Amino acid sequence: MGARVARMFRNFNLENRVHREISKEKPRAAPRHKADLSRSSGGSESAETAELVSQKNAPLLGLLRSVYVESKDPAAAEASQEVGVETEGARRPLRFSLPGGHYGLVELSDVPRGKLTIAETLKALGSHQRQPQTWTLGKIAQEYSLDLKDTKALLEFFIPFQVHIIPPKTQSAKQIKAS
């Protein structure tokens, strides 16, 4: 219904509106700027300039070929040394793993330094929650070969799955009975 009303208003007096719009005077174009024809005429000056620009200067080209730039970034040198140290013992044996070879998962024997498996992460978090005095940031970082800042971020931001059962407010609410 709304489309019919909208179409009626859109088509109302359409022919008169079109004639009125066509009969209006068209706006005049802005006057053009008078161009300086002496510059664009292609005189001898522009030809000489174009020739000079496109010409190769042999002595400058030879000097350019002799330039050799050698850059040394101190940060990149430190990073390459750190990578070299890590590649020697880049992997560490697993501390804890779940039995699960028969579920189609590949049994891991070692992981890269600075990385944890899910099982190790949950074990480290659980140990820290149960005994925060013994399982400190430093001990977890040392035990699992982690950075101290990564360990701090792990304990602060990684929250394992938790189930909270909220009791009903009234006793007459529907409940699922155990079978």
Taking residues 98-117, what's their average pLDDT? 70
What integer pLDDT is reported at residue 80 of this predicted model? Answer: 63
Higher pLDDT, 105 or 21: 21
For 111, the 3-state DSSP assignment is strand
pLDDT digits (tens, 9 = 90+) for 50-79: 888 888 888 988 998 998 888 788 777 776
Measured distance CA(172)–CA(45) in Å, rounded: 101
> Among residues 116, 129, 133, which one has the least CA distance to residue 159?
129
pLDDT band per the 50, 70, 90 thresholds, residue 103: low
**Mean of all residue pLDDT scores within the chain:** 79
What integer pLDDT is reported at residue 178 of this predicted model? Answer: 73
What integer pLDDT is reported at residue 170 of this predicted model? Answer: 75
Question: Which one-letter DSSP state was computed for residue 55?
Answer: S
Taking residue 34's Cβ as centre, other Cβ atoms within 10 Å add up to 6
pLDDT digits (tens, 9 = 90+) for 113-156: 888 888 888 889 989 989 999 999 999 999 888 999 999 999 89
What integer pLDDT is reported at residue 50 of this predicted model? Answer: 84
What integer pLDDT is reported at residue 57 of this predicted model? Answer: 87
What integer pLDDT is reported at residue 81 of this predicted model? Answer: 64
pLDDT band per the 50, 70, 90 thresholds, residue 159: confident
The backbone torsions φ and ψ at residue 126, rounded to the nearest 5 degrees and listed phi first, read -65, -40
Joined together, the tokens standing for residue 164 give 């909270």
Contact by Cβ (8 Å): 144, 124: yes
